[in-house]
């Protein structure tokens, strides 16, 4: 649990030892944790930075552990505030990118090209994969079709075999799709990186930070895609990807529950979306779920809140600070 809050495993052991053995000296803590004195000192520095230890008033020169009910709650609150700030920045970046892409699609540019039809898009993707020399990063929202993943495997294998970095961001809902999980684990086994997030921005493919492919209209794929090489748009797309990537969870790791609420990031995002007035269908579309899955999540949340209706659940969630 402590690792999920940003502590290293070593610092977590020292923190627990300080809580369980408040009278122990530094050497005794080190012996109990099977650590060297330097490791304990480094852990105390880390814990101090996170405000989980303070100077002891009873034992000058020693540190005491801050009660978890206070220290961890404060740490979590700071992380939630940082996450909310990053999400707000991500939303603003997403809107700016959408406006820029739509604008460039309306005005032909020497730095871009509008592609119509899947054949034209696939041809461009194949050329981008052939010419890459460093990295391929992408955001893949929504559900992934098995045939699409099967079709992309040979090209991805060739890119990875050349030592190219691949980073792919999916939605959390793909963790429940066996074919996507199988593909993602294969990608990781070949050296690629895969993460998931409750919600992700629009579909993006970025190659070597010098060319990109994005939908002209994220809500309507029939309008085609835009091939972009313009530096200003590329910079915005790179920032958008990195912001989303840095808040996502690596596939293979469990999605951590909030220790204060028991909610997963997906459940918290679902509450936020429904609280903002979205219907089950609209919230499910954002999260990559069916409306039935949304209903199952809400039933679980209502049970934990001991609420007999969604209205009552909304009131109780707000009272507990879940929204």
Q: What is the CATH number of the domain that holds 308?
A: 1.10.10.10
- Same domain? For 98 and 197 the reply is yes
Q: Is 256 contained in some domain?
A: no
Same domain, 103 and 238: yes
Domain-embedded: residue 127: yes
| Of residues 225 and 218, more confidently modeled | 225
17 neighbors 32 (Cβ within 8 angstroms): yes
Are 89 and 44 within one domain? no
Contacts of 176 (CB under 8 A, 6+ apart): none
The answer to whether residue 118 is domain-embedded is: yes
Asked, for residue 101, whether it belongs to a domain, the answer is: yes
Domain boundary among 36, 66, 96: 66
Average pLDDT, rounded, for the chain:
78
Are both 55 and 117 inside the same structural domain?
no
Indicate the pLDDT class of residue 262, thresholds 50, 70 and 90: low
Residue after which a domain boundary falls, among 215, 250, 285: 250
Same domain membership, residue 197 and residue 79: yes
Q: What is the pLDDT of residues 3-38, one digit of tens each?
A: 556 678 888 888 888 888 887 888 888 888 888 888
- pTM, two decimals, is 0.51
- In 3D space, the residue among 182, 179, 134 whose CA is nearest the CA of residue 159 turns out to be 134
The pLDDT value recorded for residue 138 is 92
Q: How far apart are CA 89 and CA 58, in angstroms?
A: 45
Supply the pLDDT for residue 143.
Answer: 78
- Residue 284: is its pLDDT beyond 80? no
Could you tell me if 113 and 213 lie in one domain? yes
- Domain total for the chain? 3
- Do residues 306 and 209 both lie within one domain? no
Query: In the chain, where does DSSP find H-type helix?
Result: 9-20, 26-33, 37-49, 68-106, 118-131, 146-161, 178-189, 231-246, 265-275, 280-287, 291-305, 310-319
Residues 6+ apart with CB under 8 A from 138: 167, 168, 169, 203, 204, 205, 206
Q: Which domain holds residue 295?
A: 265-319
Distance, in Å, from the CA atom of 1 to the CA atom of 257, rounded to the nearest integer, reads 9
| Same domain as 213, residue 117 | yes
The answer on 59 and 91 residing in a single domain is no
pLDDT at 299 over 50: yes
- Among residues 38, 66, 94, which one ends one of the domains? 66
Q: Are 226 and 113 in contact (CB under 8 A)?
A: yes
Q: Is 239 part of any domain? A: yes
Integer angstrom CA distances of residue 86 from 123, 185, 199, 298, 318: 35, 28, 13, 26, 22
Average pLDDT over residues 258-264: 61
* pLDDT confidence of residue 137: 93
Angstrom distance (rounded) from CA 136 to CA 243: 16
Task: Report pLDDT digits (tens) over 108-127.
Answer: 545 568 888 778 888 888 88
Q: Quick check: 254 pLDDT over 50?
A: no
Please check the confidence at residue 236 and state whether its pLDDT lies above 60: yes
Instruction: Give the number of other Cβ atoms within 10 Å of residue 71's Cβ.
Output: 19
Domain-located, residue 257: no
159: its two tokens? 């890119």
CATH classification of the domain holding 145: 3.30.870.10
Query: How does pLDDT run across 71-99, given as a tens digit for each residue?
Result: 777 777 777 777 777 777 777 777 776 66
300 and 215, same structural domain?
no
Query: Does residue 132 share a domain with residue 80?
Result: yes
Are 144 and 167 found together in one domain? yes
């Amino acid at each position: 649990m402590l690792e999920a809050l940003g502590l290293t495993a070593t610092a977590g052991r020292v923190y627990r030892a300080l809580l369980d053995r408040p009278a122990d000296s530094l050497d005794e803590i080190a012996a109990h944790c099977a650590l060297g004195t330097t490791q304990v000192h480094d852990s105390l520095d880390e814990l101090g930075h996170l405000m989980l230890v303070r100077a002891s008033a009873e034992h000058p020169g020693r540190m005491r552990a801050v009660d978890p009910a206070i220290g961890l709650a404060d740490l979590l609150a700071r992380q939630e505030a940082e996450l909310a700030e990053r999400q707000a920045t991500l939303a603003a970046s997403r809107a700016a990118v959408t406006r820029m892409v739509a604008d460039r699609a309306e005005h032909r540019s020497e730095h871009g090209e509008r592609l119509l039809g899947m054949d034209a898009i696939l041809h461009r993707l194949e050329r981008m994969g052939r010419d890459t020399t460093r990295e391929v990063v992408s955001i893949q929202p929504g559900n992934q079709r098995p045939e699409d993943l099967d079709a992309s495997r040979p090209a991805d294998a060739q890119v990875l075999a050349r030592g190219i970095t691949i980073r792919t961001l999916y939605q959390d809902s793909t963790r429940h799709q066996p074919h996507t999980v199988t593909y993602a684990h294969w990608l990781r086994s070949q050296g690629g990186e895969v993460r998931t997030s409750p919600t992700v921005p629009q579909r993006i493919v970025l190659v070597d930070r010098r060319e990109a492919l994005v939908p002209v209209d994220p809500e309507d794929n029939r309008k085609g895609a835009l091939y972009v090489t313009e530096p200003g748009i590329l910079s915005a797309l790179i920032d958008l990807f990195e912001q989303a990537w840095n808040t996502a969870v690596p596939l293979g790791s469990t999605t951590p529950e909030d220790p204060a609420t028991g909610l997963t990031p997906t459940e918290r995002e679902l509450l936020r979306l429904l609280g903002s007035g979205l219907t089950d269908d609209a919230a499910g579309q954002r999260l990559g779920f069916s409306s039935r899955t949304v209903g199952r999540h809400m039933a679980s949340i209502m049970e934990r809140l001991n609420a007999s209706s969604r209205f009552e659940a909304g009131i109780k969630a707000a009272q507990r600070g879940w929204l």
